[in-house]
Structure 1
Amino acid sequence: MTKAASQIGEYLASHGAPFYDLQLRIGLLRRDSLCVSRRALILVAMTWGVPLVLSAVAGRALGPADRSPFLLDMIAWARFFVAVGAFVLAEQMTEDAHRATLRQFERAPVIAPSSIDDAVNAVLRACRGRDSRTAEAVCLLLALLISVASYSRLTSVPGSSWAVEASPGEHNRLTLAAWWCLMVSGPIFWFLLLRTVWRGFVWSELLRRLAGLELRLVATHPDGNGGLGFVGQVPNAYTLFVFAVSCVVGAALARHGLDQQLTTTTATAVMAGWLLVVFGLLCFPLTAFSNPLARLKKETLAATGAQATQFHREWERKTLGHNIAAGETAEEQVDVADPSKQFETTGKLSIWLFKRSTLVPVAVAALLPLAAVAATQLPYKDVAIILKKLLLL
């Protein structure tokens, strides 16, 4: 392996950029470790623990459901407890999976020697995208804007809760816990979400650039994808992230259910729509490899088909003494190997890297939170039928 090739597998998806550098300086992580468990605990304590303490001091952490205490707020649980912690924990999963994928490109080796330099440049470009100060600044700005938009919603909601004190004829007054969520918890949640989406886009672009290089593929590879089957495992790296976002979507669906009855039709539409969004985002970068795989399949079938004609006409002459169709020519008397098995295997080559078996964990992570919410208002049998239909598509 050349020195240039060895650089391909050193892409660290969760390193770099100002937020990483800040955490490095204050000791939340190390260059050789993301310390995801410790960081997840600290951030959850900041985003969910502090509002809990403030709500408890104000007597708004527990109480009847009609008073909307903090510990009964599904949105707060989903965003600040589950999602924030899961976003941090998922960093290690995605980084390990991306690194293993790129190293397999080297180990196979899938990338032709003539394209190694281009592959290294693609990785370096991805590193620049990952480290972009502008991208993180935009993520932070959007997170702050979303939090500002939440302020106007809170001041106009009817009734008191852990977040607001309703004042008849006036705007609601926000509690200290609500102010903390607006200024700290909300921006952290949205920033981590948007930052992960951005880095997912950077990874997607890297895969698409690698797909455009000269690849050493073989149609008869046992993985059924020309030797690229390992790339199809990438969506599984986002299982925890998908579960976290699905919890947030599920909490929103639960709040909708408090306002109006959830029907089977609505639950099916929401779950199917969300599953399509998840699959679309995770599978889209894999479609870039469909073109080289389609060319490989077409050209291999053409080559093996031509050789099969020669082999079987030769076998026919040896068996029958002559060819039934078109007679015998001197040019046809050649000794070639039987390509029938290769032709048959090539015909089974799939140009799509995503398979049901690899997407089931992601589908389960996407649907379980929504199914749990649906089960609170619909019969278990109906929810089970919806899940069965969606998972067996």
Structure 2
Amino acid sequence: MQMLYRRVIFFVAICWLPLFLFSAFQGQLFGGGVAVPFLADVDLHVRFLLSMPLLVLAELVVHRRMRLLVSEFRERHLISNIDLPRFETAVKSASRFRDSIIAEVLLIAMVYAVGIAVIWRHYTALDAVTWYAGTSNGESKLSAAGLWFVFVSLPVFQFLLLRWYFRIFVWARLLWHISRVELCLMPSHPDGVGGLGFLSASVYALLPLLLAHGVMLAGLIAGRILHTGAALTDFKVEVAAIVVFLLCLVEGPLLVFSVQLERAKRAGGRDYGRLAERYVREFDRKWIRGGAPAGEPLIGTADIQSLADIGNSMQVVQSMRVVLLSKDTILLLAGAVFAPLLPLVVTIMPMDELARKLVAVLF
């Protein structure tokens, strides 16, 4: 944990502190004749002081929890002894792919070629005189702080973010390889997904990453509200898009198990249907048609409870889901996006009115 704190401090010292010092030297911390001084750039501070530490924190949290999720395939005996070598090979391959130096070099190249040259310059940079860029002869020119921002700070942040997308891809690749193995699914498992319900915990493992996206979106919107006169309601499409994107990012990899789940549900319906048929006929013959031994009491017999248990098992099989997606997962994911946006509600509703509504709801 101490090493984690050091990493957070290191990234903040590399990405944010030089910008503060350069801006102070330029006299643009509070004003300096620019429309957006350094300390007023909310998006910047949220990105490097909140979102980036969450991305670093996620490395520890995700590594610990995902490792436990993978081990559950063995602990729950979902992999047969015959297929266990294939499973181990897939896990080792994923570890090598995740730690690939070549992949990280390609990510750095992508950051500079696409993230900076295209996405930042054309979609996220403010169209105003700011602490990082001024005008000279009618053309925008980066300041000393701007040069560090564009060629060091922003690439580091984008690399951390892009590396997480790459790791999600590695996770999806591992799950795809596991889904090629014939899993020992149980249609009557009480989790409603054949015993794979533990995989839904991946959304909890990725919670720091989800929060980082929510915080990043809130910072971007806050900057536009403060400096371009936009309103929070102008970003409904962006908010919906990020929720859908994160839902696909987190739940998309789990869809690879849908084929086996659907197959297990059909097989379970047949098997438990035959079992129920045999039991119901025996029950009918014994207790309805007079086949019970003389003197055996009906009251207190375990046969009725067993009949009820068979019915419950049939209901579990029939209601088995073929998609590893639950309402709780969607609510948690949406909460990670919307929670950072709550402070921005005061931009469209006065604080006293908001307080009255909260009191009315709570009391």
TM-score by shorter chain over 0.5: yes
Matched, 1:186 2:157: no
1:172 to 136, 140, 144: 140
- Give, in angstroms, the shift of residue 106 of structure 1: 1.7
Higher deviation after alignment, 213-222 or 92-101: 213-222
Structure 2, unpaired ranges of 5+? 292-305, 358-363
Higher deviation after alignment, 304-313 or 228-237: 304-313
2:289 to 321, 338, 341: 321
- Give, in angstroms, the shift of residue 90 of structure 1: 0.8
What corresponds to 2:184 in structure 1?
A: 216
Write out per-residue CA displacement over residues 90-145 of structure 1, whole angstroms, 9 at most, x where no aligned residue.
10011011101012112122211111011011112212321223321221011122
What corresponds to 1:275 in structure 2?
A: 243
What corresponds to 2:9 in structure 1?
A: 41
- The answer to whether the Cα contact below 8 Å between 1:98 and 1:234 also exists between their aligned partners in 2 is yes
- Give, in angstroms, the shift of residue 286 of structure 1: 1.1
What corresponds to 1:113 in structure 2?
A: 81
Amino acid at match of 1:232: S
What corresponds to 2:266 in structure 1?
A: 298
Amino acid at match of 1:104: E
Matched, 1:352 2:323: yes
Measure, in 2, the Cα distance between the counterparts of 1:107 and 1:344.
26
Measure, in 1, the Cα distance between the counterparts of 2:32 and 2:145.
18
Measure, in 2, the Cα distance between the counterparts of 1:179 and 1:132.
29
Measure, in 1, the Cα distance between the counterparts of 2:261 and 2:229.
49
Amino acid at match of 1:43: F
Measure, in 2, the Cα distance between the counterparts of 1:157 and 1:262.
16
- Give, in angstroms, the shift of residue 79 of structure 1: 2.4
What corresponds to 1:56 in structure 2?
A: 24
Measure, in 2, the Cα distance between the counterparts of 1:37 and 1:170.
44
Matched, 1:206 2:174: yes
- The answer to whether the Cα contact below 8 Å between 1:236 and 1:359 also exists between their aligned partners in 2 is no
Query: How has the CA–CA distance of structure 1 residues 368 and 157 changed in structure 2, closer, same or farther, with 3 Å as cutoff?
Result: closer
- The answer to whether the Cα contact below 8 Å between 2:175 and 2:254 also exists between their aligned partners in 1 is yes
What corresponds to 1:326 in structure 2?
A: none
What corresponds to 1:262 in structure 2?
A: 231
Measure, in 2, the Cα distance between the counterparts of 1:277 and 1:343.
36
Matched, 1:135 2:103: yes
Measure, in 2, the Cα distance between the counterparts of 1:359 and 1:157.
33
Query: How has the CA–CA distance of structure 1 residues 341 and 241 changed in structure 2, closer, same or farther, with 3 Å as cutoff?
Result: closer
- The answer to whether the Cα contact below 8 Å between 2:79 and 2:183 also exists between their aligned partners in 1 is yes
Query: How has the CA–CA distance of structure 1 residues 173 and 315 changed in structure 2, closer, same or farther, with 3 Å as cutoff?
Result: closer
Measure, in 2, the Cα distance between the counterparts of 1:115 and 1:144.
43
2:58 to 71, 75, 90: 90
Higher deviation after alignment, 80-89 or 274-283: 80-89
Amino acid at match of 1:208: W
What corresponds to 1:195 in structure 2?
A: 163
What corresponds to 2:314 in structure 1?
A: 343
Instruction: Give the paired residue count.
Output: 336
Higher deviation after alignment, 246-255 or 191-200: 246-255
- The answer to whether the Cα contact below 8 Å between 1:238 and 1:362 also exists between their aligned partners in 2 is no
Query: How has the CA–CA distance of structure 1 residues 215 and 319 changed in structure 2, closer, same or farther, with 3 Å as cutoff?
Result: same
- Give, in angstroms, the shift of residue 157 of structure 1: 6.6
RMSD between superposed Cα atoms in Å: 2.9
Write out per-residue CA displacement over residues 165-221 of structure 1, whole angstroms, 9 at most, x where no aligned residue.
333x33233221111111210110111111111011101111122122122222222
- The answer to whether the Cα contact below 8 Å between 2:232 and 2:347 also exists between their aligned partners in 1 is no
- Give, in angstroms, the shift of residue 282 of structure 1: 0.6
What corresponds to 1:370 in structure 2?
A: 341
Query: How has the CA–CA distance of structure 1 residues 344 and 74 changed in structure 2, closer, same or farther, with 3 Å as cutoff?
Result: same
Write out per-residue CA displacement over residues 10-45 of structure 1, whole angstroms, 9 at most, x where no aligned residue.
xxxxxxxxxxxxxxxxxxxxxxx8922210111011
- The answer to whether the Cα contact below 8 Å between 1:304 and 1:343 also exists between their aligned partners in 2 is yes
Amino acid at match of 2:150: L
Query: How has the CA–CA distance of structure 1 residues 171 and 232 changed in structure 2, closer, same or farther, with 3 Å as cutoff?
Result: same
Amino acid at match of 1:227: G
Amino acid at match of 2:327: R
- Give, in angstroms, the shift of residue 374 of structure 1: 4.8
Amino acid at match of 1:354: L
What corresponds to 1:287 in structure 2?
A: 255
Structure 1, unpaired ranges of 5+? 1-32, 324-336, 386-393
Query: How has the CA–CA distance of structure 1 residues 342 and 149 changed in structure 2, closer, same or farther, with 3 Å as cutoff?
Result: closer
Higher relative CO (Cα under 8 Å, sequence separation at least 6) belongs to 2
Amino acid at match of 2:48: F
1:311 to 268, 279, 287: 279
- Give, in angstroms, the shift of residue 149 of structure 1: 4.4
Matched, 1:126 2:94: yes
